[in-house]
Structure 1
Amino acid sequence: MSQAKEYNSFIRKLTLFSIALAAVCTVLQLSLPPRMTTPAMPYILLFFVIHTALFHRIAMKMIEKNLSKFNNFYLLSTVARLLLFILVILGYAWLNPSDFKEFTIWFFIFYVVYTFFELSMLLPSIKRPQT
């Protein structure tokens, strides 16, 4: 499959996954007490959708360009992304200190869910023999 078709397939899967996750989050926001959710949930979801789409695009280019350098790229990008995430959490904490705990918990949940999704989509590309 060409890289463009593979990326379009990924975007379709990401969209469906995110819609399903948004539905689950909506149910949770309506059923859980307000102190267990954050009003920023839709924005966290949107942040991770955009982040995952951009990172996957860059990762696919790196895999196609030079698979042997992918490990270094992935490790360095993970450090950079974690620093970005810490800045987002700290920025939110500074702007909305009353919602900091809930935001951080939900941010972490979304991080784990989207990391699992991202890796499950990347692994077949990494394992596939390069042409």
Structure 2
Amino acid sequence: MSGHRRNLMKEFHRFIESELRPVGSGLSLIIGGSFISDKVTPDDIESSILVPNAEISSRAALISIGNEAAHLRIKDEYGMDFYVNLDLAGHNDFYNFFQYVGPKAASKKKGLNEKDRRGIIEVSPW
């Protein structure tokens, strides 16, 4: 593992311990994006946590670290993209989004079709 990846992982652990564990413990965490790919120098770690519909009202503190201002702060402070995934119709589905290949990645001669799906890592418990 490169020093850059180690640093990203160190910051990811710091985020989990200082901000995510106190408000998101017990929920599934997913990791996706270039960090888990063969990209030599990934820009960041993309992650998301799913808040089940039955827990939305009791997870307000977790939901607040998923707002746009918190997202920008987390990106700046920890070098990562973190999203809260609400289990409600009409809300962004980051589980599927992180798996989307799309035309840009498919055109990089990896033998992928833009409708293929990328892998993600789901961690539970963490």
> Structures share a fold, TM > 0.5?
no
What's the TM-score, normalizing by structure 2? Answer: 0.31
Structure with the greater alpha carbon radius of gyration: 1
**Which structure is higher in helix share?**
1
**Which structure is higher in strand share?**
2
